[in-house]
Amino acid sequence: MSTNENTTATSAAGADRSRGKAPAGERVADWADGRLGIYSLAKANMRKIFPDHWSFMLGEVCLYTFLIIIITGVYLTLFFHPSMNEVEYHGSYVPLQGQLMSEAFNSTMHISFDVRGGLLIRQIHHWAALIFLAGMFVHMMRVFFTGAFRKPREVNWLFGFLLFVLGMFTGFTGYSLPDDLLSGTGVRFMEGAVLSVPIVGTYLSFFLFGGEFPGGDFVARFYSVHILLLPGIMLGLVVAHLILVFYHKHTQYAGPGKTNNNVVGMPLLPVYMAKAGGFFFLVFGVIAIISAIATINPIWTMGPYRPDQVSTGAQPDWYMGFSEGLIRVMPGWEINLWGHTLVLGVFIPLVVFPLVLVAIAVYPFIESWVTGDKREHHILDRPRNAPTRTAFGVAWITWYMVLLIGGGNDLWATHFHLSINSITWFVRIAFFVAPVIAFVVTKRICLGLQRRDRDKVLHGRETGIIKRLPHGEFIEVHEPLSQEQLHTLTAHEQYVPAQIGPAVDENGVKRKIKGSAKLRAKLSKAYYGEDNQIPKPTVEEYKEITSGHGHH
């Protein structure tokens, strides 16, 4: 091609040439932009601001452990055989040589002793699952105690709640896959619960297990549920959860310059992405270290599952412990109706189990109904400033912990040389009493802390320095708070309780007041009534005290 022809080329191409070729990265990006519109997407989101606080890293812990579980899970699928066909063991673990076991157990033994890196990956999968659920628990508590579930984030709270419940069941199905004596006992426990359902219990159990327990199907069925169905739904929910976090923008703690209409923090790119990436590797690293040095679920010590055997000290993973507790402490009631046995000792716990969980799901809706607050909230509460909510949260945790103690009653008995019956009775009583005590105590503590905040704002921080005045009096020097501290301690709003309104209308006719309105007014008083919040200092009070009179 001659130079002459070159100059007659279209002007656009000519301009390109005169600038030289764009770098490869830019050309790839241009190519993608032409097809996916990534530039406008990036422009809108790259500088998105994320507020910074350690407690916001808990959601990240959930996300990263979930990813680690998926990555390690895929590796395990390469070697795990989800089959209950009986085989004879000929692997490298000598004590079990020649024993009959299911292929599932055999392949998990193979993963643990003969596959390169198999035991480490298996342990990472299991440890990550435990930390994933613990992470969700604590993340949920962070969201709860700070009131981050309020409008507009109620739907995201529900997504989170579903993730928590599905996570529990995914963990349970995974735990059951190796078909060892411990997990088999867990599945047997589940079968017992299914059998206790009136009328359809037996049918349900036969349907689930493909016949009489344990049958030959459940590992294969649990397998599809464990690696495909539940994680698939969870993945979709996690994406939806994060999209909503993005869409609503993140909440922030009260502080100078932070309002309901802005977000103060770091841009997503590069700062937040770099931090998040680093944190992912940190989480992965810590889990890898734990998994490299701490044994989890050593199935070779338990042996393969046999329905006629039960191992002692059998415990589910921690997140299932509360359901175990419900059954262990329940009296073994049984009644006979028209020739059918109703095992209340198992059926009642089976009904209470979802109730413990549903209490979490519905809380945001109950609170907004009680308080009548329909506004958006992007500034987080300090737990002490919402004493009733905080007290409910602590009562729920107490309830959960009491049940966990019940779930491990045998371990408490053997470790602390206690009678198992005393522990059972302790848990039975504490199930009803402990949450109430926790509620009352927490509320008092919150109000005490509110009082302290009020004192601090009005009188400053107690320095611990004692001075003697010329006339002999001793005083403690109080140091005034900085403007930032003053702002943070007084930024919260205080509400008046919802009122029912007058009992008669303007014509003197008695108004009909619905029972629900009365209940709401009562509950609202419990949240915001006189004894349930300490009035924050007013500007006048502050001015009067700091203007000289009465100032220490």
Asked if 178 touches ligand HEM (CB under 6 A), the answer is yes
Please choose, out of 163-171, 322-330, 344-352, 393-401, the segment that lies near ligand HEM by the rule CB under 6 A: 163-171
If the CB atoms of residues 299 and 330 are measured against ligand HEM, the closer one turns out to be 299
In terms of phi and psi (left: phi > 0; alpha: psi -120 to 50; beta: otherwise), the region of 460 is left
Asked if 214 touches ligand HEM (CB under 6 A), the answer is no
User: Are 434 and 402 a contacting pair, CB within 8 Å?
Assistant: yes
Question: What is the C-alpha radius of gyration for the chain, rounded to an integer number of angstroms?
Answer: 31
Q: How far is the CB of 170 from ligand HEM (least distance, A)?
A: 4
Q: What is the spatial distance between Cα 319 and Cα 59, in angstroms, rounded to a whole number?
A: 18
Asked if 174 touches ligand HEM (CB under 6 A), the answer is yes
If the CB atoms of residues 111 and 343 are measured against ligand HEM, the closer one turns out to be 111
Give, in order, the Cα–Cα distances in Å from 167 to each of 39, 131, 170, 233, 393. 36, 11, 5, 10, 21
Q: How far is the CB of 158 from ligand HEM (least distance, A)?
A: 8
If the CB atoms of residues 70 and 545 are measured against ligand HEM, the closer one turns out to be 70
> Which among 266, 242, 273 has a CA at the least distance from the CA of 49?
266
Element (H, E) at 475: strand 474-479
For ligand HEM, the binding residue among 171, 201, 316, 321 (CB under 6 A) is 171
User: Are 219 and 179 a contacting pair, CB within 8 Å?
Assistant: yes
Q: What is the spatial distance between Cα 127 and Cα 64, in angstroms, rounded to a whole number?
A: 13
Give, in order, the Cα–Cα distances in Å from 403 to each of 317, 318, 334, 400. 14, 11, 22, 5
| Residues 272-301, interacting with ligand HEM (CB under 6 A) | 297
Q: How far is the CB of 486 from ligand HEM (least distance, A)?
A: 24
With a CB cutoff of 8 Å and minimum separation 6, the contacts of 124 are 68, 72, 287, 288, 291
Burial class (CB in 10 A: 0-12, 13-18, 19+), 447: middle
Asked if 136 touches ligand HEM (CB under 6 A), the answer is yes
Q: How far is the CB of 129 from ligand HEM (least distance, A)?
A: 4
If the CB atoms of residues 60 and 410 are measured against ligand HEM, the closer one turns out to be 60
Give, in order, the Cα–Cα distances in Å from 337 to each of 199, 333, 340. 11, 13, 5
Asked if 377 touches ligand HEM (CB under 6 A), the answer is no
For ligand HEM, the binding residue among 119, 204, 233, 245 (CB under 6 A) is 245
If the CB atoms of residues 153 and 536 are measured against ligand HEM, the closer one turns out to be 153
Calculate the CA 200 to chain-centre distance: 33
User: Are 305 and 103 a contacting pair, CB within 8 Å?
Assistant: no
Please give the residue whose beta carbon sits closest to ligand HEM in the complex. 160
> How, if at all, do strands 379-380 and 86-88 pair?
unpaired
Instruction: Give the number of residues in contact with ligand HEM, rule: CB under 6 A.
Output: 51
User: Are 118 and 112 a contacting pair, CB within 8 Å?
Assistant: yes
Asked if 149 touches ligand HEM (CB under 6 A), the answer is yes
For ligand HEM, the binding residue among 186, 231, 265, 383 (CB under 6 A) is 231
| Residues 22-81, interacting with ligand HEM (CB under 6 A) | 56, 58-60, 62-63, 66, 69-70, 73-74, 76-77, 80
> How, if at all, do strands 49-50 and 266-267 pair?
antiparallel
If the CB atoms of residues 104 and 427 are measured against ligand HEM, the closer one turns out to be 104
If the CB atoms of residues 167 and 406 are measured against ligand HEM, the closer one turns out to be 167
Q: How far is the CB of 366 from ligand HEM (least distance, A)?
A: 15
Question: How many Cβ atoms sit within 10 Å of the Cβ of residue 76?
Answer: 20
Asked if 430 touches ligand HEM (CB under 6 A), the answer is no
If the CB atoms of residues 359 and 437 are measured against ligand HEM, the closer one turns out to be 359
If the CB atoms of residues 131 and 330 are measured against ligand HEM, the closer one turns out to be 131
Q: How far is the CB of 481 from ligand HEM (least distance, A)?
A: 26
Calculate the CA 543 to chain-centre distance: 44
Footprint of ligand HEM on this chain (CB under 6 A)?
56, 58-60, 62-63, 66, 69-70, 73-74, 76-77, 80, 108, 111, 122, 125-126, 129, 132, 136, 139-140, 143, 148-149, 153, 156-157, 160-161, 163-164, 167, 170-171, 174-175, 177-178, 226-227, 231, 234, 238, 241, 245, 250-251, 297
